[in-house]
Amino acid sequence: MQVTSERTSQRGVMNTTQQDTAEKAAELLAKVAETRSRAAFSELFSHFAPKLQAYGTRQFGNEQTAMDLVQETMTNVWHKAHLFKPDRGSPSTWIFTIARNIRFDLLRKNKKRKDDISADELWPILAEQNDNLDDGYALDNDVLMQEIAHYYAQLPDPQRVVVEKIYIEGKSQQEVSDSLGIPLGTVKSRTRLALKKLKELIVEHD
Amino acid sequence: MIKSHPSEAILYQYASGDLSAAMTLVVGTHVDMCSVCQQTVCEIEHDLCSKHLDTVVQTLNTPSHGYSGLSKTDTDKMLEKIFSSEAKPAVQPDELICLEGRRFVLPRTLAHNRARIGDWTNLVGKLWRAPIDVGDRGHTNLIYMEPGTQVPEHTHKGQEATLVVDGVFNDEKDVYYNGDFILLDADRTHTPQTSAQDCLTLATLDAPLYFTSGISRLLNPFSSLFFRASA
Ligand SMILES: [Zn+2]
């Protein structure tokens, strides 16, 4: 993946080189995401691993920890390549932010508690984007609890139980998922459906 | 329109991973809510990447001085380990929090830390607190003020960072709305209060609060209650 540079203007060469590299890396990431291509990944690895290793060595002053940073960063690249979005920045910036997260975790590992906060919670860059936070709870904030209380009895049982636990008992979605033994995604979709239904009922009767 | 942002120095430390976990949480939640800072953070990350990764030009076969490089054996071993690794299960953020008939949708970063938010405690009057366990020293809480609530006047030993998650509050100096980020130094005295609207804030503090006004002495245990995570 080394790009040969023509020696014209220094700055122009840099930009062209960087751009070519970025495009190539983006293609490889797409290939990894779509076809799980080991060859494409290996090419990414040979380009980025030495850079990550140098970054890790400077950060930790320790070869072994630097190797851990390379290993863990590139493992995330392998599994999460589909989360790279070319419109948001270059592949190397994306990989840098993954390495930044790994560095944060490696630095905290020394003073470790089992449930210590992880970088993925603080910078959720590798979270799947499918669950859009905006579309879910579209009830206006000023809809009163009484209104919900008035209409929620009309919901189908599975939705009613979820709404009851969240809005009346004040449980978190995770707690509801745990207590009912159903997946969090199901709790979310039931909440969403219930709120949609409630909204319709409230509008209907206004 | 958000008018109160973290300084560029703080955003830089946020992007490079050099803030405490608690401060990262507060700044990250602001960034979720603020398109201006999102843009700045993108640019900073690009700069950091140029500095930390792009400047390194050696390849596998031509390690530079002071750097041993990755051998072919290292590379093969690592690749093998990566290809045989399991993907971590996807994390589902939990973006909803309820209190006193109010329901809040948490911004992305906070939603990813929903499980770290403890139970609500009514402190005094119309003031509520839920601790967030980020494992740092210092104290991080969601603070909920019903309309017409006043936090007793106080100063603090350490720096206090506050983010308005939803609502509006004011102190002697200004009025703060959704997304506003306020950083106070140790020696500042202030009296946060709400009037017609309620307010949910995220706050982190290095050291316990010390109340300064006379009446607050009656609430002596309150100061530690306010910011201490429940056992
Ligand atoms: Zn901002």
Interface touch B53/A52, C-beta < 8 Å: yes
Among B32, B56, B84, identify where a domain stops: B84
Decide which of A144 and A89 is more confident: A89
Q: Tell whether B132 and B204 lie within a shared domain.
A: yes
By residue range, what is the domain housing residue B73? 8-84
Decide which of A7 and B203 is more confident: B203
Q: In the predicted model, is pLDDT for residue A37 greater than 90?
A: yes
pLDDT tens sequence across A174-204: 888 888 888 888 888 888 788 777 777 777 7
Query: Which B residues 160-179 touch A at CB under 8 Å?
Result: 166
Per-residue CA distances from B62 to A158, B50, B231 (Å): 63, 20, 55
Q: In the predicted model, is pLDDT for residue A39 greater than 50?
A: yes
Among B84, B117, B147, identify where a domain stops: B84
The pLDDT value recorded for residue B221 is 39
Q: Provide the residue-wise pLDDT of chain B in tens; the chain has 231 residues.
A: 799 999 999 999 999 999 989 999 999 999 999 999 999 999 999 999 999 988 766 544 444 444 557 888 899 999 999 999 998 887 778 888 988 778 899 999 999 999 999 999 988 788 899 999 988 777 899 999 999 998 877 666 778 899 999 999 998 889 999 999 998 877 777 788 999 999 999 999 875 555 554 444 444 334 444 444 333
Chosen from B13, B14, B26, B79 to mutate, greatest number of chain A CBs within 10 A: B79
Distance from residue B9's CA to the centre of ligand 1 (Å): 13
Distance from residue B17's CA to the centre of ligand 1 (Å): 18
Q: Tell whether B187 and B123 lie within a shared domain.
A: yes
Among B84, B115, B142, identify where a domain stops: B84
- From CA A88, how far away is CA B107, in angstroms rounded? 20
Q: How far is A156 from chain B (nearest CA, A)?
A: 21
Q: In the predicted model, is pLDDT for residue A170 greater than 90?
A: no
Looking at the domain assignment, is residue B2 inside a domain? Answer: no
Structural domain spans, chain A: 15-129, 132-205
Distance from residue B128's CA to the centre of ligand 1 (Å): 26
- From CA B60, how far away is CA A100, in angstroms rounded? 22
The pLDDT value recorded for residue A206 is 59
Interface confidence, given as ipTM, is 0.84
Q: Tell whether B51 and B108 lie within a shared domain.
A: no
Residue matched to tokens 């609502």: B167
All residues of chain A having their beta carbon less than 8 Å from the beta carbon of residue B69 are: 50, 53
pLDDT tens sequence across A57-68: 999 988 999 999
- A166–B contact, CB cutoff 8 A: yes
CATH class, range A15-129:
mainly alpha
Find, in chain A, the residue whose alpha carbon is nearest to that of B116. A117
* Element housing A13 (H / E): helix A10-35
Please give the average per-residue pLDDT across A71-93, as a whole number. Answer: 93
Q: Tell whether B63 and B140 lie within a shared domain.
A: no
Q: How high does pLDDT run on average in chain A?
A: 79
All residues of chain A having their beta carbon less than 8 Å from the beta carbon of residue B95 are: 133, 136-137
Q: In the predicted model, is pLDDT for residue A12 greater than 50?
A: no
Q: Tell whether B38 and B73 lie within a shared domain.
A: yes
β-strand pairing of B175-177 with B199-205: unpaired
CATH of the domain at B152: 2.60.120.10
Interface touch B88/A79, C-beta < 8 Å: yes
**What letter represents residue A170's amino acid?**
G
Please give the average per-residue pLDDT across A42-53, as a whole number. Answer: 94
> In DSSP terms, which residues pair with B183 in a beta bridge?
B161
Angle separating helix axes B35-49 and A91-108, nearest 10 degrees: 90
Q: In the predicted model, is pLDDT for residue A141 greater than 50?
A: no
Please give the average per-residue pLDDT across A65-92, as a whole number. Answer: 93
All residues of chain B having their beta carbon less than 8 Å from the beta carbon of residue A116 are: 135
Q: Tell whether B79 and B106 lie within a shared domain.
A: no
Looking at the domain assignment, is residue B139 inside a domain? Answer: yes
Note the CATH number of domain A132-205.
1.10.10.10
Number of domains in chain B: 2
The pLDDT value recorded for residue B11 is 95
Q: How confident is the model at residue A129 (pLDDT cuts 50, 70, 90)?
A: low
- From CA B217, how far away is CA A163, in angstroms rounded? 42
Decide which of A127 and B158 is more confident: A127
The pLDDT value recorded for residue B215 is 44
